[in-house]
Amino acid sequence: MTVTCLLDITPGNSFEGFCLVKEVKLEKTKKGDPYLNVTVAKKHKMVACKLWNNGFRGMSSEEILTFFSAGALMHITGDASEYNGQVQMTITNFRLAENGEVDFSEFIETAPESVDSMEAEIRSYIDEIKIPILHQITFEIFEDNKKLFMNHVAAVKMHHNFKGGLAYHTLSLLRIAKNICDQYGEVVNRSKMYAALTLHDMGKIVEMTRDYTAPEYTLIGQFLGHIQIVNQMIDRKLVAIRTERSVSAEETTVVYELMNIISSHHGPLSNGWGSTQEPITLEAHLCHMIDNIDAKINMISKAHSDMQEGEVQKIWGLGKIYKPNSL
């Protein structure tokens, strides 16, 4: 059976249609022959592909990479099989899409809510930050970077890796935090939670490229990572505030407490997920747990969208995932 939409592809199908190139790597077999590892996509659906050198159509490795480049729209044909529990396709033919041949927006995954509505709601949470210095820092960093932030991806591969994903992820965390603060308001500081969650991934606008079609890590991102980048933003704001007025010891402490929450939002150092400090406050532990909840829900729900009920698949970054039957 031949399918023409990548969203419909399953092992055993042939495919003939358009797709967006997300990632390309030139590799070599054990014999030294070149081949391409290509990831193609439509919306949320991503398929790993192989183009063996006998399909290069006589082109050199350099020439073939002029066709297969991240962000390119291509028409490809291929045969789908299963590898490690996931669909994999061997490409048999290819060409670049011609101008106007397909609508580029049909291949881009975007946040399920509008940019304007998400921006307004994030601002409403910032307005509820009652610690003045945290409100000022959070408000100013958000305003300085909102144009990039509202359309940026939250990850290259893992969770919320789509246009507007960073804002949608951040808003989801704030919504979860609101419920926790409403339940445990006598022990959880709402202002610290809202400030930390609004800013926790702000550094990703520097850590990753602005191309939401095929994002990559920038050189600065590889040097520092988004946690150090956003803490630099916070520290620079603190320095700027000090040039305008005196800052008390208590204010300084609460700003560095905010930085600890952000530094530890990937959890304890022992888990190896990228925190730069241990979480040492209740809010730091909660922000890590909230972040992990939302990331896992997004990853699993995305995996379920391509699975049959009762099926178990091995998902990159998650391991084996089961999709229950509807009751």
pLDDT per residue rounded down to tens, the chain (327 residues): 899 999 888 889 899 999 999 889 999 998 898 999 999 988 888 899 999 988 888 888 888 888 888 888 999 999 999 887 778 999 999 999 988 888 888 888 888 899 999 999 999 999 999 999 999 999 999 999 999 999 988 776 666 778 889 999 999 999 999 999 999 989 999 999 999 999 999 999 998 887 767 678 889 988 999 999 999 999 999 999 999 999 999 999 999 999 999 999 887 877 777 788 899 999 999 999 999 898 888 888 877 877 778 888 877 677 888 888 887
Residues 287 and 142 in one domain: yes
Residues 10 and 150 in one domain: no
Model confidence, pTM: 0.82
Domain count, the chain: 2
Determine the 3-state secondary structure of 115 from DSSP: helix
Residues 194 and 85 in one domain: no
Q: Does 307 map to a domain?
A: no
- Cα 168 from Cα 112, distance rounded (Å): 8
Residues 33 and 175 in one domain: no
In this structure, are strands 2-3 and 34-42 parallel, antiparallel, or unpaired? unpaired
pLDDT in tens, 162-182: 888 999 999 999 999 999 999
Q: What is the pLDDT of residue 157?
A: 67
Residues 152 and 283 in one domain: yes
Of 107, 135, 154, which residue constitutes the final position of a domain? 107
Of 107, 139, 174, which residue constitutes the final position of a domain? 107
Q: Does 316 map to a domain?
A: no
Of 79, 107, 135, which residue constitutes the final position of a domain? 107
Asked if 287 and 261 count as a contact pair (C-beta separation under 8 A), the reply is yes
Could you give the residue ranges of the DSSP H alpha helices within the chain? 61-64, 115-127, 132-149, 165-184, 190-199, 204-207, 219-224, 226-244, 249-263, 282-304
Q: What is the pLDDT of residue 158?
A: 62
Q: What is the DSSP letter of 83?
A: E
- Cα 236 from Cα 231, distance rounded (Å): 9
- Cα 21 from Cα 196, distance rounded (Å): 35
Q: Does 213 map to a domain?
A: yes
What range does the domain containing 65 cover? 2-107
Structure tokens at 44: 């949320």
Q: Does 285 map to a domain?
A: yes
Residues 236 and 158 in one domain: yes
Q: Does 325 map to a domain?
A: no
Helices (H) and strands (E) in the chain, counts: 10, 8
